[in-house]
Amino acid sequence: MAERVDGEGESGRVALGRTLRLLREKAGKTLGQLAEETSYDKSYLYRLEVGQRLSKQAVMEDLDRYYDSGDLLVRLWRDARKDVIKDRYKAFMELEATARVMLMFQLRVPGLLQTEEYARAVLSGLSGAQTTAGNDEDVEEQVALRMGRQELLYREPAPRVRVILDEGVLRRPVPDVKVWADQLSYLLDAAERPNVALQVLPFTAGVHDLMDSHLWLLWQRVGEPVAYVEGNGIGELIDDPDKVLSLRLSYDLVRDAALTPAESTAFIKRLLEDCRS
């Protein structure tokens, strides 16, 4: 249908809000009437229309039914959600680039510690089984960006970085044996840097609070720490002090259960020897 209102350079959230307002006005409803007939709070509906809130898909499904607009609002909501995820990741990358201290728990080899060939293998797998020229270009662009991010490990002053890898990370090699061996060797080299501490959380540590997501805790030169949590392709940047503290405490428990840096290095060396044998 034609009710969608697009604006050049307009964010997905704003486009969704403008369309919501247009549909309401076309239906001849005030915000008060809409709130009464849908049981959603008037101020909540207002924030949706001005792009202050994104809401949930179920709300858009309800409003699509109310306006008889097919799946228009759901489709716009999905576009807006992608924008929000990108914005949060962009903000995270900006904080990562200037962080003085970084603590990480990872369910995969983090981008900061990936070799170029390993990054290419992983990103190619994420792009899907069907390979096209366009996909190849996109993968190469992402590889270049990932390698560029690693420069922050060598800047002055270098950030203090502690990475805890779940053992599962090291038990899932890429198909190319040489690429995997080079990646393990690269982790060992990184662990020798004075500003990097690398630990492995063994399976024997059992269940823990962080087992379903990746976690970054970042400290700048001044200001409060922030956290970034990522899982199932969705990232959330967290600056609420209480939530960050809770994540920090969960991280500390994982760190206490992990192998020491020396034990972790020995563990990775054994895997590398097995890989090369």
Contact between 44 and 20 (Cβ < 8 Å): no
Is pLDDT at 87 greater than 80 in this prediction? Answer: no
Q: CB–CB of 138/127 below 8 Å?
A: yes
Q: Which residue has the tokens 């490990």?
A: 153
Rg (Cα) of the chain, in Å, rounded? 23
Mean pLDDT of the chain: 88
Q: Is the pLDDT of residue 78 over 60?
A: yes
Average pLDDT over residues 24-43: 94
pLDDT (mean) for 79-100: 80
Say whether pLDDT at 265 is over 80: yes
pLDDT exceeds 90 at position 1: no
* Fold classification of 99-113+157-276 (topology level): Endonuclease; Chain A (3.30.870)
Domain boundaries, the chain: 12-82, 99-113+157-276
Task: Give the rounded percent of residues in the chain with a pLDDT score beyond 90.
Answer: 66
Q: Is-above-0.85 flag for pTM?
A: no
**pLDDT bracket for residue 12 (50, 70, 90):** confident
For residue 84, what pLDDT is reported? 66
Q: Which of 43-47, 79-83, 120-124, 203-207 has the highest mean pLDDT?
A: 203-207
Domain 12-82: which topology?
434 Repressor (Amino-terminal Domain) (1.10.260)
Query: 78: Cβ–Cβ under 8 A, 6 or more apart, which residues?
Result: 57
The mean pLDDT of 153-178, rounded to a whole number, is 94
Determine the distance from the C-alpha atom of residue 204 to the mean position of all C-alpha atoms in its chain, rounded to a whole number: 27
- Residue, of 52 and 119, whose pLDDT is higher: 119
Confidence check: pLDDT of 268 > 70: yes
Residue 211: per-residue pLDDT: 92
Q: How many CB atoms lie within 10 A of CB 192?
A: 9
Per-residue pLDDT tens over the stretch 218-228 = 999 998 999 99
Amino acid 51: pLDDT: 85
Average pLDDT over residues 49-75: 90
Query: Residue 159's closest CA among 101, 215, 226?
Result: 101
